[in-house]
Structure 1
Amino acid sequence: MEEGRRESMLFYKYLCHKIGTQVDVKTRRLSFIICDIHNHPLKRNAFKYFPEISSGSRAEGLNLSGSDVDIMLIDNRFEVYESENEAVQGRKVNLIMDTEDTPHCFSKLRVLTDYNHIEDNNNRFKRFLHFEGFRTLISSEMYKEHNLNRIRQVAPRFDTIHGPCISDYNERYDFAHCLKCAKWISQAQPWIHRPRGAWPNAKNIEKIIKCGVLFVPIGSKGSSIENLQWRISFSVAEKILIFSFNHTQLLCYALLKIFLKEIIESHEDLKGILCSYFLKTLMFWISEEYDLSIWTPCNIIHCFKLCLLRLLYCIKYSTLLHYFIPDNNLFYLRLTEQNKATLLILIRDAYNQDIQCFSSSKTLNNYQKYVTGNFDRLSIVPEIMEVFSTAIASFNFGNIFCLLRYFIYHSRSSLSRDVFTLFLSHANSCESQNLQLHRQHNKLKYFTYRRIISQLLISVHSDAVSGWLILASFFYIQKKYITSTILINYALSNCNDEKVEAPNGMWLGFNRNQKVILNWTKHENLITVLKAFTLQELRFSENSQMIPVELQPIIKWNNNLIIHPKPFAHFISFLCYYHLHDRSSCRRSMYHLNQIVENCKSFQSCRIGNTMQLRYSQDSRHLSFWDMFYTVKFLEISHQMIGKPLSDIARQYSKIFKNTTALIDSN
């Protein structure tokens, strides 16, 4: 018995390294909560009616292999009610649930608002209405198609419908447009009062009820009216329940997901039979039925085997009841006799093998190395950089400072202080970029100048390089060329192999130097690690006063200038040396820009939505299409200024980019 407890503790520590500690999980969740807060409602006009709710594994605190980003966009133009008596007249379009002839957990949505009184610009809303006798219904299929066409206009890479979601071509992001019913529906009323143990507690039950339910645009597969049905979604409630898990519960949930993706689905004939939602439902039932005292680190192996045993039972009897509406059997007509038999054998073997069943798993196959001490400490740094770089891309000043005020008054943990510092740094960078020095009298101009300098100095705390380069760009604009070159050289000295770059696409892991340094800093707080050892892209806001005048003609294809720090540093360096009449240093900066271009191996055209763009393989793995575009443009400008022809490879890429931007303009 004691041996089993020791093995469980060792395995628990291993899982904390591989999947995440409690602090890692809190950091992931906090980063997505921040995104939800600042996007409520979304700023861009195209999405002004759609507040965001992050969902899925990553928002729950897990970042497992293959995890994508799931975002639910609530369409605030509509309000769903169970009956006409509950409907409140207002500016929103009222919809009434119609569950006649629909399976459990699905509903049709009837339009209550008079058709002629619906505010509808360009008749867009009326495009997804379906008339059935005297009733007007919203077609889930046409609603989804409408949103796909609308998103393509602002983000062409989102070109695929995946279930109720709209996905990008890399399948990294899933957006699900949904409608909201603010009240807890009658179908799920028995869930509130049914007998249960200590989980979930009364506070969380009350919180869940207040959240109401969502409706996502997908019908029951195979139904004759599938295109008119909407699935009732409890995503917000499920997120609250996952957040209420202790760390052992969460790790068991992660183990089930890994078991599904890396062991069950390694068998070609079992792919798509089970899904993560089934495992989540399984965890909810087990957590509700068993005492919370069993979910301890020294008992984690027993808890995981308990989950396997329940999964075995559910598959054997083809029964897994929906957690909130048990009348719905999720396994109804899901399993055939053949795949059921295969699954039962596989799960029984895994149960008998204990945790050794993960020896063939990609994520957890090095447990023995950990036991013998041959294991490198992993870090959450690249995850947080990716989430934050995505979040800050669309920030405006009002939302940033509202967010900062929220954290001042509602967060007291050391982690939230680190997150606060990170966003405070970015907020100062954004605001300083929009302060104008010209057309001011001398005294006001002096105070504005001092304010910009102080804000830019605060902005250097987000990473090791980008803040310094924005400051250097400001000094260049002020014609303080020597000061600018000093800052540029300092920033470039920090662009080395020890720095962790913001992931642009799939994260490929750390190199040897990064692993050593991150292990040295394992006791440091998050902001210290980010400031010392990370590189973020430079982000210049729209109409930024920090963008050199030489770049104004080339930013018309992107509202904001977002670029890798290296090419920008070399270009600003060139501009400074050009004005200092140091031709030798100019040529050195041009040489470095040319090296970046030559390190790019090859370009391939690919279709994104209705437009042709470029993908490429390269040595420098974090350079994007726009990074290379701007690098080539920097070379063109510098060669024109100095009166020298482009190199052959730069001329080749210049021609490719000219054709591509022409395609973008035409679309």
Structure 2
Amino acid sequence: MESSPPQICEGLQHMSESMFVGLCEIVGTSQQIAIRREAEDIQEMVYRRVRRNGKIITMMSGSHREGFRLKESDVDFMFWPNNHRVIMDMSQSEYYNTANTTLILSDSSESPPGFTLLQLLTPTTNRAIQTACVRMNARVYISSSIYRQLTFSAVNHNFTIHGPCGNGYIAGYEYDTAYCFVSDFWPPSASSWIDRCHSWPDPEIVDDIVRNGCHFVAIGHPLGPHENEEWRISFSRAEYKLVYSMNHCQFLTYGLLKLFLKEVINQQSEGTNKLLCSYHMKTTVFWAIQQNTLPHWCPQNLLAGFWICFKLLLKWVYKGICPNFFIPQNNLFLTKVHGSAQNRLFLQLHELYKKGLACLLQSSSIRSYIIHVLYSPRLFICTDESIMRSEFHYDVELVTQFKLCFFMCGDISQTTKAIHVIEQYVESPMTHHQVVMIQKLATSIFQRTPFLLQNMHNDTGVNKQMYIADKQSCHMLKLAAKIGCISDMLYIAMYYYKTLRYREALSFIEMTKVKLAQPYLMYSYVDTERYTEAVGGQSWSTKIRQAVAENIKLNDEICFISELIPEQQSALQNRVPILYIPVFVMLHFLEFLCYRHIDTTLSQAALDDLQVLVHHDQGRYVSDIFRDISWEILGICQQMTGDIQAALYSYQQSLIQYSVNRIQSATQRRIQDLVQSTSHQ
């Protein structure tokens, strides 16, 4: 095979530049990728420091963590018990206090490369781990297959097993969850990787990766002697740090390979479309960069980089060997790419290879960028990222991350700890994007703490304590609104409604209503020109306060509005921790509830506004995935006014919507209660 990519036009360099621009459009510029990564990193750092020993630790991994937001980008989460640690040999036990840490020994003596048995060394109080234990050769091991089944069924009844992961949906997104164990030590079987890192990545990145150890996910090798008991060594944390260390051209090459896999390779035939996956593409890029096959990864060489990776992939398929980047002896093709399937796949890839770079024309996403250059070979192409995206585009990116940022505070002690952690971050150097996320986390905490305090002091009934807590609560909520977005004022209205101060609540509802009516509002839709004209060039704090709104998020473990308790309980029973409510629905709902105690005419007007919104909105203010709770709230209001038939209709509409919030059991109970009450009349 020739060492350089074939020429499909005189200006291969020109075409690479066009592809660079196109991939920046599809995948994102380096600044957009940085916003996504930094937002996730700062959240994880705060959560990690807040979570107590013995709690479950969460880490996002996969494409989403790496910075991709492609349609097929999966959202992967890894969970592990923080009071359990895997050690590689017995001498490492001296680093742990076994009174509060359960030790597990990795025993890979009988397992294929990249896999291991996990021997339980010290007692555990974790019921799932206890149940998953099996005896072999007078030793106690944790069975991966039993543990996987137990953990998935405990979290979500509606899951499908996908490798070591449970696959499901939340808030309209597909996600994979993997329950695993963590080790603070680098596995000996991957020691050769450290010695191999001469040119890439940099030594400090290698040290950081090794210092942070690895994970063990619940799946065995199908050809191993103990498939049901074995665990796979996972380098997920190391992998996203390696992806972070890529320059933007290398990252875009990885993105191009992902698109090429989905839109070209996997479209060849049904018999081969499941043989290769995104992880193989990532592995290809890792090896290509480390082997230094392309000295300069830059926009002008993007297609050369792609071709090098494609050739390497073709070679691996021909040989039936795809070496794991960290443990090369672990052949990622061993159980799938072999025999007749391997031959068919190689022939298909070789046909694409013979077409040269013209094979990229089969990709629907990137075809236009190639054709653009073919028809305009002398067209000037600017690869300067600073002018590819406007201030508005980066605002949208930041707002998207801002809306995804949320702190789950289960109790006051955890909330207090979170505030201390955030204070420490405020005093340390941070990027602009990290400051925004810390600000959002603080807002989230300040919004939820008053409701926790109110619920606590309602139980004690001590007037002085209630008075002090109320003063603190009002201060926190107003501070949250001051540093938060427009919709954050509704939490003040909720608190005043909950504490029977209806006129005060209505004053904040009116202020919110005026701000939400601005033509430059950034919610589910935004008028780019009006937004830029109104807040362009201003500080982020000004933009967020004057022009941004988000859905209302209610932590289901906290009572915010008593009228929604059944819905929160239903969501919790279905293991959905947050109730998502469109901001305009919540606005009219609160307005209706408050005016019921002051002016029935205005209360009916608020209900009429809510009804028009729910019945006639075309997705601008009420997203399709939140129509379940929107119809539900309309039904609650109608039931409160005695309009039984309208309420029944609304509840029935709620039931047939896609249920992100998982409130069906509450809806069914409300329907039953309505039917029974009317039958007794």
State which of 70, 73, 84 in structure 2 corresponds to 1:78: 84
Name 1:538's counterpart in structure 2. 552
1:16 aligns to 2:24 (yes or no): yes
Q: 1:34: how far off?
A: 3.0
State which of 610, 616, 623 in structure 2 corresponds to 1:593: 610
Comparing 258-267 and 348-357, the one that deviates more: 348-357
Name 1:270's counterpart in structure 2. 272
Q: Provide the C-alpha distance between the structure 1 equivalents of 2:651 and 2:70, rounded to a whole number of angstroms.
A: 42
Task: Tell me the secondary structure at the aligned position of residue 334 of structure 2.
Answer: coil
Residue 580 and residue 281 in structure 1: after superposition, are their counterparts in 2 closer, same or farther (change >3 A)?
same
What aligned pairs does 1:419-438 form with structure 2 within 5 A after superposition? 419-434=437-452
Q: Provide the C-alpha distance between the structure 1 equivalents of 2:201 and 2:65, rounded to a whole number of angstroms.
A: 20
Q: Provide the C-alpha distance between the structure 2 equivalents of 1:522 and 1:364, rounded to a whole number of angstroms.
A: 32
Retained in 1: the 8 A contact 2:614–2:622? no
The residue identity in structure 1 corresponding to 2:274 is G
Name 1:173's counterpart in structure 2. 175
1:462 aligns to 2:484 (yes or no): yes
Residue 409 and residue 239 in structure 1: after superposition, are their counterparts in 2 closer, same or farther (change >3 A)?
farther
Structure 1: gaps (5+ residues): 503-510, 602-615
Name 1:611's counterpart in structure 2. none
Determine which structure has greater relative contact order: mean sequence separation of CA pairs < 8 Å that are 6+ residues apart, divided by chain length. 2
Comparing 250-259 and 619-628, the one that deviates more: 619-628
Retained in 1: the 8 A contact 2:629–2:663? no
The residue identity in structure 2 corresponding to 1:424 is A
Q: Provide the C-alpha distance between the structure 2 equivalents of 1:319 and 1:358, rounded to a whole number of angstroms.
A: 25
Identity of aligned residues (%): 23
State which of 9, 33, 49 in structure 2 corresponds to 1:25: 33
The residue identity in structure 1 corresponding to 2:103 is N
Q: Provide the C-alpha distance between the structure 1 equivalents of 2:580 and 2:664, rounded to a whole number of angstroms.
A: 21
The residue identity in structure 1 corresponding to 2:484 is S
What aligned pairs does 1:248-267 form with structure 2 within 5 A after superposition? 248-267=249-268
Q: 1:70: how far off?
A: 0.9
Name 1:392's counterpart in structure 2. 406
1:412 aligns to 2:430 (yes or no): yes
Q: Provide the C-alpha distance between the structure 2 equivalents of 1:261 and 1:358, rounded to a whole number of angstroms.
A: 12
Q: Provide the C-alpha distance between the structure 2 equivalents of 1:655 and 1:345, rounded to a whole number of angstroms.
A: 50
Task: Tell me the secondary structure at the aligned position of residue 74 of structure 1.
Answer: strand
Give a deviation string over 1:362-412, Cα, whole Å, max 9, x none.
443543798899x99894667766655554152452354245235324443
Q: Provide the C-alpha distance between the structure 2 equivalents of 1:119 and 1:368, rounded to a whole number of angstroms.
A: 59
Retained in 2: the 8 A contact 1:422–1:527? no
Residue 342 and residue 405 in structure 1: after superposition, are their counterparts in 2 closer, same or farther (change >3 A)?
farther
What aligned pairs does 1:381-530 form with structure 2 within 5 A after superposition? 388-392=402-406, 394-395=408-409, 397-398=415-416, 400-434=418-452, 445=467, 449=471, 452-453=474-475, 455-459=477-481, 461-464=483-486, 466-476=487-497, 481=502, 484-493=505-514, 494=516, 499-501=521-523, 514=527, 530=544
Retained in 1: the 8 A contact 2:110–2:225? no
Task: Tell me the secondary structure at the aligned position of residue 596 of structure 2.
Answer: helix
Q: Provide the C-alpha distance between the structure 1 equivalents of 2:186 and 2:465, rounded to a whole number of angstroms.
A: 60
Give a deviation string over 1:625-652, Cα, whole Å, max 9, x none.
3343233213322x14xx8874663375
Give a deviation string over 1:579-612, Cα, whole Å, max 9, x none.
332x4322221112223443599xxxxxxxxxxx
Name 1:130's counterpart in structure 2. 134
Task: Tell me the secondary structure at the aligned position of residue 172 of structure 1.
Answer: strand
Task: Tell me the secondary structure at the aligned position of residue 228 of structure 1.
Answer: coil
Residue 400 and residue 269 in structure 1: after superposition, are their counterparts in 2 closer, same or farther (change >3 A)?
same
Q: 1:253: how far off?
A: 0.9
Q: 1:56: how far off?
A: 0.3
Q: 1:105: how far off?
A: 0.8
What aligned pairs does 1:272-291 form with structure 2 within 5 A after superposition? 272-290=274-292
Retained in 2: the 8 A contact 1:78–1:179? yes
Task: Tell me the secondary structure at the aligned position of residue 324 of structure 1.
Answer: coil
Retained in 1: the 8 A contact 2:129–2:142? no
Give a deviation string over 1:501-530, Cα, whole Å, max 9, x none.
47xxxxxxxx6x545557777867766555
Retained in 1: the 8 A contact 2:18–2:369? no
Residue 213 and residue 435 in structure 1: after superposition, are their counterparts in 2 closer, same or farther (change >3 A)?
closer
Task: Tell me the secondary structure at the aligned position of residue 535 of structure 1.
Answer: coil
Q: 1:620: how far off?
A: 4.1
Q: Provide the C-alpha distance between the structure 2 equivalents of 1:183 and 1:146, rounded to a whole number of angstroms.
A: 27
State which of 573, 591, 594 in structure 1 corresponds to 2:591: 573
Name 2:209's counterpart in structure 1. 208
Retained in 1: the 8 A contact 2:145–2:228? yes
Q: Provide the C-alpha distance between the structure 2 equivalents of 1:189 and 1:644, rounded to a whole number of angstroms.
A: 69
Q: Provide the C-alpha distance between the structure 2 equivalents of 1:500 and 1:323, rounded to a whole number of angstroms.
A: 43
Q: 1:558: how far off?
A: 5.2
Q: Provide the C-alpha distance between the structure 1 equivalents of 2:72 and 2:317, rounded to a whole number of angstroms.
A: 25
Retained in 2: the 8 A contact 1:14–1:370? no
Name 1:112's counterpart in structure 2. 121
Q: Provide the C-alpha distance between the structure 2 equivalents of 1:443 and 1:142, rounded to a whole number of angstroms.
A: 49
Task: Tell me the secondary structure at the aligned position of residue 269 of structure 1.
Answer: coil
Residue 389 and residue 453 in structure 1: after superposition, are their counterparts in 2 closer, same or farther (change >3 A)?
same
Structure 2: gaps (5+ residues): 1-8, 374-378, 382-387, 573-577, 657-661, 673-681
Q: 1:459: how far off?
A: 2.3
Residue 448 and residue 17 in structure 1: after superposition, are their counterparts in 2 closer, same or farther (change >3 A)?
same
Retained in 1: the 8 A contact 2:114–2:232? yes
Residue 649 and residue 243 in structure 1: after superposition, are their counterparts in 2 closer, same or farther (change >3 A)?
same
What aligned pairs does 1:637-656 form with structure 2 within 5 A after superposition? 637=640, 639-640=641-642, 646=646, 649-650=649-650, 652-653=652-653
Q: Provide the C-alpha distance between the structure 2 equivalents of 1:517 and 1:254, rounded to a whole number of angstroms.
A: 33
Give a deviation string over 1:90-120, Cα, whole Å, max 9, x none.
133333232233211111122333xxxx243
Q: Provide the C-alpha distance between the structure 2 equivalents of 1:310 and 1:561, rounded to a whole number of angstroms.
A: 47
Q: 1:222: how far off?
A: 3.9
Residue 140 and residue 244 in structure 1: after superposition, are their counterparts in 2 closer, same or farther (change >3 A)?
same
Task: Tell me the secondary structure at the aligned position of residue 110 of structure 2.
Answer: coil
Retained in 1: the 8 A contact 2:407–2:444? no
Give a deviation string over 1:247-306, Cα, whole Å, max 9, x none.
111111111111112221123222221112212111111111117851122322222222
Q: 1:348: how far off?
A: 4.9
Task: Tell me the secondary structure at the aligned position of residue 48 of structure 2.
Answer: coil
Give a deviation string over 1:194-221, Cα, whole Å, max 9, x none.
3x54211111111122112221110112
Name 1:103's counterpart in structure 2. 112
Retained in 2: the 8 A contact 1:42–1:49? no
Q: Provide the C-alpha distance between the structure 1 equivalents of 2:488 and 2:482, rounded to a whole number of angstroms.
A: 4
Q: 1:184: how far off?
A: 1.9
Q: Provide the C-alpha distance between the structure 1 equivalents of 2:507 and 2:347, rounded to a whole number of angstroms.
A: 67
Q: 1:24: how far off?
A: 1.1
Q: Provide the C-alpha distance between the structure 2 equivalents of 1:334 and 1:543, rounded to a whole number of angstroms.
A: 45
CA RMSD of aligned residues (A): 4.1
